[in-house]
Each structure stands twice: as C-alpha cells, then as structure tokens.
C-alpha cells in the first residue's frame, strides 16, 4: 500500500512537472514534497536535499544574471552562447545606470575557445571587466568535459547553473562553491601572468 502511494506521488510530481511546465521554483517545491512524502511514508529518507532543477533561461538564468556582480564561466563556451550574448550587450550598453553596474566576468575555457573572448579582451574599454584564462596551454583532441570537467555558470559565487538549463542547488553546491573562490583567484593570477610571459 505504501508503495502505491509512493508511486502515485512520484508520477504526479514528474508527469505533472513535465505537462504543466513547472518553473524551477515549483519543481523544487514538488521535489521537496516528494522527498518528505517518501520519508514520512517510511519508504526512504535518503533522497538527497540536493537537486538538479530544470531552469528557464528567461525566467531564471537571465533574471539572476541581470543582477550579478561577478560571473564565473567554466568549460564549453558554445553551450554558454546566450550568456555571452547577454553579457556582450550589457558590457556595450549605453544606458548609464546599466553601464555603472557592469559585472566582473571570469572565465576558464579550453585554449581553442579563447578566441570567443577577443572582442572583449582586445577592447581597451571592456578589458578591465573580463579575466579569461585557458584551462591549459594546448589544444587537445578530447571533449571539453573530458578536459575541464562540468561546464558551470556561477553567479556571485551563489547560484550555479549548467547549460540549457539546469540549476544546481542544495548543500552540495554550497560546498562546491568553496572551491569557486580559489578558481576565481587562479583566473585572476593567470591574467596578470599573461603580461609577465614575454
């Protein structure tokens, strides 16, 4: 009997999530409901508090991005294309308020994708906002994930997204962010180093 409740609960959450096109917040609520439901039915209390939520570009990622002060991009630039276009428009904006709030951008990408950032790094007006480092000094014939690990977009060292689009949230992500600060420092150091390498 317990199991049939559980089944109904699961199906409701997942099918419901799909057909009603729940946004990330609803999905999160639904997942918490499922997690607590399974626990109170004494089926399992081991479902992690972490979850990967489907996120919506316009409603979630872009909305959070629009008020970020620090943007960290890791991995495959191609999958972050909307982020790059959004940031490009922001960096080049003529609106004085938006201009004043332009974020600091940090990126660590494979060597062959460094060209994507030339438009910013070679523009003296924008270069100050952008710090990019190649994930290694080589073009390797291995997939980007194989080389750099998971592609991540980290906003203000708080919100973590994976491309097209998922939000990672929960205690696990908060632990990962401990390393995020180190990576930002390393990108900053690598950028200074570029001038030192003669």
Partner 1 sequence: MRWIWMAVLLVGVALAQDPRYPETTRYLVSAPDYRLDRLTLLKWPFVEVLRTDRWKENQAAREGGKAPVAHEWRLPMSDLATTQEVARDLRRAWQRFEERYYWHVITRLNNPALYAVYCWAGLKGPDLNPPLPEVRVDVPSGSVPQGFDPGLGWPQPAAQGQHMLDAYWPVPQVDPDDFCDDLSLQILPLMYVPGFCIDIDAIGFSWCTPGYEGGEPLWFNDAEAQKRASDGIAHAVSAYYPDYQKDVLTALRPRVPTDLSDPTRLRVFAPMPWQAHVLEGGAVVTPVMRTLDGLTPQNLVNEAQGILQTLRQGLPRLPEAERLAGTAYYYQAVRGLARLPFLQPVSGQLTGLIAEMDEKVMNQVLQTLAATDEGSKLVQRDLFINAKNAPGAWRLEELKRWFPPSNPYIYERFGYLSFFQVWDRAEVTTVPDFRADRNPLGVAASLGMRALFYWWVPVRIKITLMPSPPFISLSGALDWPKPVPVPPYVLPFAGERTYWGWVSVPEGYEVPRVKGVPGLGVSGVSIPGFGPEVYNLLLR
Work out which of 50, 59, 89, 118 binds partner 1, going by CB under 8 A. Answer: 50
- Cα-Cα-Cα-Cα torsion 189, 184, 92, 75, nearest 10 degrees, comes to 110
Work out which of 108, 130, 153, 159 binds partner 1, going by CB under 8 A. Answer: 108
Residue 122 makes contact with partner 1 by CB under 8 A:
no
User: What are the start-end ranges of the H helices in 80-139?
Assistant: 81-91, 96-100, 118-121
Residue 58 makes contact with partner 1 by CB under 8 A:
no
For the segment 145-174, give every residue that binds partner 1 (CB under 8 A): 145-150, 152, 170-174
Q: Are 176 and 54 in contact (CB under 8 A)?
A: no
CA 64 from centroid of its chain's CA atoms: 11
Find the length of the chain. 198
Nearest distance from residue 67's CB to partner 1, in Å? 24
Work out which of 134, 153, 155, 159 binds partner 1, going by CB under 8 A. Answer: 134
Which window, 7-15, 29-37, 94-102, 176-184, contacts partner 1 (CB under 8 A)?
A: 176-184
Cα-trace Rg, the chain: 20
Residue 175 makes contact with partner 1 by CB under 8 A:
yes
Residue 118 makes contact with partner 1 by CB under 8 A:
no
- Between residues 8 and 145, which has the closer beta carbon with respect to partner 1? 145
Give the C-alpha separation, 11 to 4, whole Å.
Answer: 10
Nearest distance from residue 12's CB to partner 1, in Å? 23
Token duo for residue 91: 């960096």
- Between residues 12 and 52, which has the closer beta carbon with respect to partner 1? 52
Residue 48 makes contact with partner 1 by CB under 8 A:
yes
For residue 193, CA distances in Å to 131, 132, 176, 177 come to: 11, 11, 26, 24
């Amino acid at each position: 009997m317990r199991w049939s409740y559980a089944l109904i609960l699961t199906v409701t959450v997942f099918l419901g999530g799909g057909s009603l096109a729940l946004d990330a917040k609803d999905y999160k609520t639904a997942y918490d409901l499922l997690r607590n439901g399974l626990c109170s039915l004494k089926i399992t209390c081991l479902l992690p508090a972490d979850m990967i939520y489907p996120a919506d570009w316009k409603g979630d990622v872009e909305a959070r991005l629009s008020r970020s002060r620090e943007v960290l991009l890791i991995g495959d630039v191609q999958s972050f294309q909307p982020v790059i276009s959004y940031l490009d428009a922001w960096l080049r904006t003529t609106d004085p308020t938006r201009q004043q709030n332009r974020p600091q951008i940090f990126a660590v990408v494979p060597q062959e994708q460094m060209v994507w950032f030339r438009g910013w790094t070679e523009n003296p007006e924008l270069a100050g906002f952008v710090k990019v480092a190649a994930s290694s000094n080589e073009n390797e014939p291995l997939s980007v994930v194989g080389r750099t690990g998971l592609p991540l977009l980290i906003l203000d060292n708080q919100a973590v997204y994976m491309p097209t689009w998922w939000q990672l949230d929960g205690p696990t992500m908060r632990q990962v962010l401990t390393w995020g600060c180190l990576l930002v420092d390393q990108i900053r150091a690598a950028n200074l180093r570029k001038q030192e390498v003669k």
